Structure 1
Amino acid sequence: MAKRKINKQQQRRINAQHRQRSRRARDDDNLPDSDALGPEQIGLVIESFGRQVNIEAKDGEVTRCHLRANVENPVAGDRVIWQMGDNTGVIVAVEPRRSLLTRPDFNGQPKSIAANIDQMLIVVAAQPPAYANLIDRYLVAAEAHQLTAVIVRNKSDLPVDDDTLAMLNSYADNGYTVLTASSTDGKGLDALRAQLADATSIFVGQSGVGKSSLVNALLPEANTAVGELSHAADKGRHTTTTARLFHFPDGGDLIDSPGIREFGVQNLDRKSVEQGFREFQPFISQCRFRDCRHESEPDCGLQAALERGDISPVRLQSYRQIVAEIEGQHG
């Protein structure tokens, strides 16, 4: 049988996997034997740097740990089993996750961002401009992972254009929680703290919308880096390079994630994307065909709802754009 040909991208991925396995094996050879380590204990990943991880023990002490070769890279929010050595620890296992958020890497493959999250706070601002399709991607991902989704308009002390305001109002009309906040004058921070209490949350959004500034306002001791907005390109400079977990004094955790302009929806299917548009649900059930694509099929519940003005044409176009992307990748 003829040997299956692989393209250059697949070959690069295979070579990278080989290099990674070799590097892990070399790293494992340098780790102490289990007999030289302390007893196994549970820890919480605060920040991950590839094969090195900062974990927090039950007593609150933070320790830099290395990974055994057979352990997948944990991310902020993961619970792990680890053992203490002379100066550093060794992670021997990652506990099962209740949720895992990913984004595409340079090869379009999912890269883990954070784990065990309860709610996603989508931060937008007047600048850089807020785009409905990006917000919708976050909402779809939140629904797929069964996370509570909250939209936060940051920099509320700055004026916002009518189109952005109308867009945010439309999300509120569709049942999404929309909060306003400002790290400059402090308005809205109390309501934001109440939303964050007793849950593990993640801030997501474009670079430059002020996620790190919000973290600093909510947790002054965090001392996270705050970057200036690049006026030339109207895009923020990346100031957070790895997701990091912070504790609130009154309960609840926050994971500050790297600024990302894309979000990992590539592993979802059409039905999962549909579920991310909550206002579509009453009308999808009215479609004549169960596999309706909501394009030109007869007796489509969504098309009829669009014609009546019951759903937004912007949201329907956003849905179609996301579906076209994932089906193009899977095709």
Structure 2
Amino acid sequence: MVDFVRRSFSDGPTSLVTILALVVLIGGGIPLLNWALFNADFVGSAPADCRRVGACWVFISQKAGQLFYGFYPQELRWQVNASMVVTALGLIGAFAAAQRYQIALAGAIYALSVSMSFTVFGGRLPGMTAVPVEKWGGLTLTLLLFGIGVGVSFLFGGLLAMGRRSDKPLIRSIASVYVEFMRGVPLIAILFVAVILLPLFLPSGADANLFLRIVVGICLYTSSYMAEAIRAGLDAVPTGSREAAYALGLSRWNTQKLVVFPQALTISLPGLINTMVALAKDTSLVIIVGVHDLLGSTQLAIGDVSWGNVLWEGYFFAGTVYFLMCYVLNFIGRRLEIRARRTTAR
């Protein structure tokens, strides 16, 4: 602590910045604490239970069902919970298999979990009740979009990264044009194309689920950024690693799987985590095409005039949830980096 204080006031400019930071922290932190904690209302069940001196967290507690599940029927929300469990188990299982270099198994586990979670979320298994996409929403929809998007984008991005480094000019050109095009187009435009124009190219009588169209748009967009992060890692792998693997008799596929990709992913981990954080925040853009994720459900809840002005409470809650999601991703990324450095040092 003493060393921290000394470094904070080590010279004139540093002392000035420290003093300004303290002024901002105290000047903004104390009123925020008074509003969010000390003068806030936490207990109640109706708008009349809020004194309006501080934050009305009663609003959040009473609207929790809508914020977490959208308009999904309350008696069927167990289907959503089951879908979240399937998605989490699929991601964990795929990661565990990938750590053992069982790439095909990891892809199969993830594909199965994605298909199953989507089916369970919509209630399309025997014994379940089907729920239309229009009633999906809230934080669970955000998590489902992220869970599906991050895995599909990573797999597709890996293929694009290898395509950009291919010896075949045609494959390299197609991958390069795709990545540069997708990185140059706003996600909102891609979502509009996926939602509005994609059905026009389907065969007559075919119907594309709205959620699937949105997932396709998000994955096509995010995979281009994943591809660049992975390609940077592949380019940074020393040539000697490949040559040593070939000298030991490893095939091209085993060299990529056992030698090149583990090193490349370790190098590109910061970029991959950054892309995942961006994806977590970009899911909020689906409100533009009429799907109410966490942010959309928050806006609908704020629109309930019986609660009065709860704008700050609603957006503060949504912002806190997004911050926690991004913080958890960064924390996992840092732990993986530390673990990778320890493994390399052995």
TM-score, normalised relative to structure 1: 0.27
Greater RCO between the two (CA within 8 Å, min separation 6)?
2
Structure (1/2) with the larger helix percentage: 2
Structure with the largest fraction of strand: 1
Larger Rg: 2
TM-score normalised by the chain length of structure 2: 0.26
